[in-house]
Structure 1
Amino acid sequence: MAKPTLAPQSQGLDPRLYCDYARLVRLQAQAESFSLLPHLKAGSVLSGRHNSLFRGRGLNFEELRHYQLGDDIRNLDWKVTMRTGKPHVRSYTEEKDRNVIICVDQRSAMFFSSIEVMKSVVAAEIAAMCGWRVLKDGDRVGLVIAAHQRVFHSKAQRSQNEFLAQLKRLAQSNQALNVDAYNSELVSFSRWLEQVKRMKLKQSTIIFISDWHDCEEHHLDHLKQLQQHNDVLAVMVSDPFEQSLPEDLASLKWVVGDGRYQLNLDSKAKVETASSHLAERMAQQRQSLTQLMSIKKLPHIELDTSGEHIAKFQQLVGGR
């Protein structure tokens, strides 16, 4: 379980643009106000320490049910059997540690906001808060950080010192972003996903926090494969401008870019075309991620850049 940590001094950065290490450490206090455990599918890794049904004495009584071929007769409940005239057995659950891997997007497309807070800040803060929650539950946590130049990864550990080191790396990746940053070919969604697959995770919780802008259909197929032996929780971070553009944008003569290419939105036709493509793309992403979450009956979580991401996340995953 995580012990209270003295927060380091803040770097004085604008919290709307960047998150510093001190801010990520202070989020330990926010981890008390929500839980990744309740209100999710029973038997899911996310429902707490995942329940493993087994025959024999366990830690927690699970259920009383009819005897089935192969059940251990030592688990027969003779009182119920005699009362009902039909054999009943008691089954138990065993608590096991969770391994939780938090995959957090800090690539160049995340350095954007039209309202209050950069998507990169939203993702970093949610990742930090989830990590603190996992440690408070006594489980293991590791980060896979997709920065704009490389992917960093660490195995899941039940170590506060190791997690603090990961938060330092996360803060460094966050602060490396700027308007001129562009992604290396080494950090495409394919490469990011390959890194996760190489970890050969089983019975783990994998939390992906991203805007999902370059996630394609074949990537979702790989995520579905991961979902077979793990619980994959998708968190989408989006901005209102990524769904539709203001009608009067053409008069402002905006220029948008990704660090290498630029587009002049200097006419109503260009704005309408761009807005239509954005809306279609966002609808497809939502549908795909909702279908992915439905496999394990997990919630589809979408956060925006309004600055209310912490409260909304706490509410969606089971705020206290």
Structure 2
Amino acid sequence: METSELLKRVRKIEIKTRGLSSNIFAGEYHSAFKGRGMTFSEVREYQYGDDIRNIDWNVTARHNRPYVKVFEEERELTVMLLIDVSGSRNFGTVSKLKKNQITEIAAVIAFSAIQNNDKIGVIFFSDKIEKFIPPKKGRTHILHIIRELIDFYPEDRQTNIAVALEYLTNSIKKRCTCFILSDFIDSHNFEHALSIANRKHDVVALRVYDRRENELPAVGLMYLKDAETGESMWVDTSDKALREYYRKFAWEEEQKLINSFKRSGVDVANIRSDEDYVRALITLFKKRA
């Protein structure tokens, strides 16, 4: 993409998503995602009702009267975006590709994070780790992330979510909040890796899908090609039995995915590529808050 065109698209996304994160998501994001825990603040004299487990025995011994440690919530978060850049992201049948929807959602989360003084980093993945951007703060860092979201071209086209989750678990040492942005179309079983990652971190799934992945239109002969494997075939969509089989198969796969998220304890928002993602994100944030 030409540099001038890329900068125009970056600016357009910045204006839209920064406004959303300021006016709509700021409070929701702040209340939905807590800090990593409690951090030490000060030592003061023991008061009636204080937890004796917080007594600082060294200070108590020096002063001959009990002192306790005071803790406060650690607000600063590290936010990681796991971005699926496999071939299937380039699919879209109405007004927007899944790739474009993922880009806007990721930008909204990124701006919400820096407004909350949080660090944000990105892992781009296909069936391997394509690129890692370490967590940092600041507008310049966010714009760099948006540029990569718009103009990143992966080496591979297939999907392996487990690889991305394992990389997250091993590379990010402190607890973080992690958003996985993907269509979750993956022939590999990633539930085990998801459970492990969610025990160490706070993992949230943002599933971006297209409505034609759930049902076929009756439009006669249709040429279909798998964006990740390159396999192709002609399909007669006027065949009602075929359309019903496709719909049932898609529904069963979706149920498997829902059950995997439940068993792993991961919150999920399902966002269609041609629908407004604002309502889905606000619903998710309110549920967590």
> Is the TM value for this pair above 0.5?
yes
1:184: how far off? 4.0
Deviation by residue 1:44-101 (Cα, 9 ceiling, x = unmatched): xx23x3331669559xxxxx99555533189xxxxxxxxxxxxxx9964232421111
Q: Which amino acid aligns with 1:72?
A: I
Residue aligning to 1:209: 181
Q: Contact 1:244–1:279 at 8 Å: present in 2 too?
A: no
Structure 2: runs of 5 or more not aligned: 58-67
SS for the counterpart of 2:134 is: coil
Pair 1:197-2:197 in alignment: no
Quote the offset at 1:116 in angstroms.
2.4
Q: Evaluate the alpha carbon distance shift between residue 111 and residue 184 of structure 1 in structure 2; reply closer, same or farther with a 3 A threshold.
A: closer
Instruction: Compute the displacement of 1:104 (Å).
Output: 1.5
Q: Distance in 1 between matches of 2:192 and 2:224?
A: 32
How far residue 317 of structure 1 moved from its aligned partner, in angstroms, is: 1.7
Tell me the CA shift for residue 102 of structure 1: 0.9
Partner in structure 2 of residue 303 of structure 1: 271
1:205-229 deviations in Å (ceiling 9; x for gaps):
1111111111644x22112112222
1:202-281 mapped onto 2 (5 Å cutoff): 202-214=174-186, 216-217=188-189, 219-246=190-217, 249=218, 251-259=219-227, 260-266=230-236, 267-281=239-253
TM-score under structure 1 length normalisation? 0.71
Q: Does 1:37 align with 2:23?
A: no
**Where do 5+ consecutive residues of structure 1 fail to align?**
1-7, 14-19, 41-45, 59-63, 75-88
CA distance in 1, matches of 2:108, 2:165: 22
Query: Could you tell me whether the CA contact under 8 Å between 1:103 and 1:206 is conserved in 2?
Result: yes
Question: C-alpha distance in 1, partners of 2:184/2:102?
Answer: 12
The CA distance in 2 between the partners of 1:168 and 1:12, in whole Å, is 8
Cα 1:65–1:311 shift into 2, 3 Å: farther
1:172 is aligned to 151
Q: Are 2:161 and 2:186, in contact at CA under 8 Å, matched by a contact in 1?
A: yes
Deviation of the 1:136 alpha carbon: 0.8
SS at match of 2:54: coil
Pick aligned residue for 1:71 from 39, 54, 64: 54
Q: Which amino acid aligns with 1:131?
A: A
Deviation at 1:106, TM superposition (A): 2.4
Aligned pairs for 1:17-56 (under 5 A) are: 20-26=9-15, 27-32=17-22, 33-34=24-25, 35-38=28-31, 40=32, 46-47=33-34, 49-52=35-38
- Residues in 2 aligned to 1:293 and 1:172: alpha-carbon distance in whole angstroms: 33
Residue identity opposite 1:29 in structure 2: G
SS in 1 for 2:255: helix
Is residue 79–residue 177 contact of structure 2 (8 Å, CA) maintained in 1?
yes
Matched-pair contact (CA < 8 Å) for 2:43–2:69: no
- Alpha carbons of structure 1 residues 317 and 197: separation in structure 2 relative to 1, 3 Å: same
Secondary structure at 1:161 match in 2: helix
Residues 139 and 65 (structure 1), Cα distance of their counterparts in 2 relative to 1, 3 Å cut: farther
Q: Distance in 1 between matches of 2:279 and 2:48?
A: 40
Give 1:153's aligned residue. 132
Cα 1:129–1:302, aligned 2, differ >3 Å: closer, same or farther?
A: same
Question: Could you list the per-position Cα deviations for residues 203-254 of structure 1 after superposition, in whole angstroms to 9, with x for gaps in the alignment?
Answer: 111111111111644x2211211222211111111222222334xx2x5211
SS of residue paired to 1:237: strand
Deviations 1:258-282 (A, max 9, x none): 2411132213333332222111101
- Residues 138 and 73 of structure 1: CA distance in aligned 2, closer, same or farther (over 3 Å): closer
- CA distance in 2 between counterparts of 1:225 and 1:279 reads 26
SS of residue matched to 2:224: strand
Write the deviation string for residues 132-187 of structure 1: whole angstroms up to 9, x where unpaired.
110111111111123699611111011322221221111102xx59xxxx9446x5
CA RMSD after TM alignment: 3.3
Higher strand share: 2
Question: In structure 1, what residue type is equivalent to 2:101?
Answer: V
Equivalences for residues 111-130 of structure 1 within 5 A: 111-130=90-109
- Counterpart-to-counterpart distance in 2, 1:28 and 1:307: 19
Structure 2 contact 93–210 (Cα < 8 Å) conserved: yes
Cα drift, residue 117 of structure 1: 1.6
Please tell me the residue identity of whatever aligns with 1:23: K
Match of 1:142 in 2: 121
| Count of residues paired in the alignment | 265
Counterpart code for 2:235: L
